[in-house]
Amino acid sequence: MWGGRFSERPDELMQAINVSIGFDRRLAAQDILGSKAHAAMLARQGMISRDDEARIQEGLGRIAAEIESGEFPFREAFEDIHMNVEARLTELIGPAAGRLHTARSRNDQVALDLRLWVRDACDRTAAQLRTLQITLLAQAEAHSDALMPGFTHLQPAQPVTFGHHMMAYVEMFGRDAARFADARARMNESPLGSAALAGTAFPIDRQATAKALGFERPMANSLDGVSDRDFALEALSAASICMIHLSRIAEEIVLWTTPQFGFVALSDAFTTGSSIMPQKRNPDAAELVRGKTGRVLGALTSLAVTMKGLPLAYGKDMQEDKEPVFDAFDALELSLKAMAGMVADMKPDTERMAAAAGAGFSTATDLADWLVRKLDLPFREAHHVAGAAVKRAEGLGLGLDELPIEEFQRLEPRITADVYQVLTAKASAASRSSYGGTAPEQVQARIAQWKERLR
C-alpha cells in the first residue's frame, strides 16, 4: 500500500510486531459502514463518479457478506482490517477500489471504527444493565419485607429487608447506565474527514458523513480527531466502576451461599462441584465475575499508560488501544449476563435471614432512639445506656429483647415495658421509614418508581 516509497519488504519481525489483523478484524462491520458513508459523500461531492460509487458499494456489500459467512480471506500480509478490506475490494471491483481512500487516512479511519465499536458496546451494555436491574427489581418486589441483617464492617449492624438490599444494587447499576449514556453522548462526534492529522484539501462534507453514521456532529479539530482516545478511556472507566459493583454483589453471593450464612441458594445452573469433595456446591459464576473485575481495571490502566505520553497526533502506540477495549467489554458483557442469571436463580432463605436479622444485638440503635423519643435523653447519653444494656445482655447470654425489665431499669429507672415494642427486627426495619430507608413501604415505593423508569 506504500510501495512507491519503499522498495523492500519489511523484516519478518517488523511484520510480526506491526500486524494487527488478528484483533482489529473485530472492527470489520464498523470499517465497512464508515467506507460506505465515505464513498457516498465522495460521489455527492463529485470526487468520484456515481458508477465508481455503485461498484464500491456493491463490493463492500459483498465483503460484508463474506465476513458474515466466515468466508472472508483475512490475510496478515495486509496488516490491518482497513487494508484487508481495501485489498479484497480491489480483487472484487478492480481499480475503482483505489478511489475509496480519497480524502481519507487510516488515521481517521481507525479513529472512526473504534469510536463506532465503543459506541455500540455502550449501547449493548446499557441494555444488559437494564436486564440486570429488572431482575433485581423482581427479587426486591418478591421480598420487600423479608428481614435480613444489615452489616457494617461485616458485623451485624441494623435489620434491613432483602428487598432494600437488592434495591441498593438497582441504584448502583442505574448510575452505571447513566455513566455509559454520558460517555456515549460525549463520544458521538465523527473523526472522519480529519484525514492523517491536518484535514484535507478536497471539498468533503463532514456534516453529511457524520449524519450518515449517526453522529451529532463532526469533531472540530483534525488533530484531536485522529489522536483522541478519551472516548475509550471514559467507556473503560464506566466499565471499571460497573465491574466493581458487579464484584461487590458477587462477593455477597459467595458469602450468602456458604453454610455459615445460608441466606440464599443457587441451583445447579450457576454452581459447580468438586473433583474430590462430593458435597461441594461452589458459586463459581460469582467468583469468576469477581475475578474478571481485575481484567477490566487492568484494561483501563493499560490504555491510560499507552496514551499518557503521546504527542499529537497519531503514533503507532495507539494500535495498542484495541485489545484492552475488546477484552474489557467482553468481560463486562459476560459478567452482566452471568449476574442477571444468578440473581434470577437465587432462592433466599427468608426464615434463616430473619433469624439472623435480630442477632448480634442489632436493635441496640432502636433502644437508643426509644430513649431519645420517650425519655428525652440526649442521644449520646442514650447511646451509653444502650451500650450498657448490650453489655449486660451479653453477660447473661440473652438477646436485648430477652433482657428483663429490671435489668433495663437498673441502667435507666424510667424505662418501661413499652421498650420491648422496638426491640424486634421487624419493628426496627418497619420504623426506618425516612426517604430511602428500609421500611417495606419505602422499598415498595422505590420499586414502583424504578419499574416505571425502566418500562
Residues 122, 93 contacting (CB under 8 angstroms): no
Q: Nearest CA to 226 among 112, 329, 124?
A: 112
Query: How many CB atoms sit inside 10 A of residue 177's CB?
Result: 22
Judge whether 390 and 360 are in contact, CB under 8 Å.
no
Q: Are 42 and 48 in contact (CB under 8 A)?
A: yes
Q: Which of 7, 153, 275, 434 is catalytic?
A: 153
Angle CA 164–168–170, to nearest 5: 110
The secondary structure of residue 255, as a DSSP letter, is: H
Query: Which one is catalytic: 49, 267, 274, 433?
Result: 274
Dihedral (CA of 367, 370, 374, 379) sign: positive
Strand 155-161 relative to strand 147-152: parallel, antiparallel, unpaired? antiparallel
DSSP string for 221-245:
-HHHHHH--HHHHHHHHHHHHHHHH
Based on the residue annotation, tell me whether 274 is a catalytic residue of this protein: yes
What CA–CA distances, in Å, run from 238 to 18, 19, 217, 294? Answer: 30, 30, 23, 14
205 C-beta neighbours (distance < 10 Å), count: 16
CA distance 186 to 198: 22
Whether 153 is a known active-site residue: answer yes
Taking the C-alpha atoms of residue 166 and residue 160, their distance in angstroms, rounded to an integer, is 11
Q: Give the residue numbers marked as catalytic.
A: 153, 274
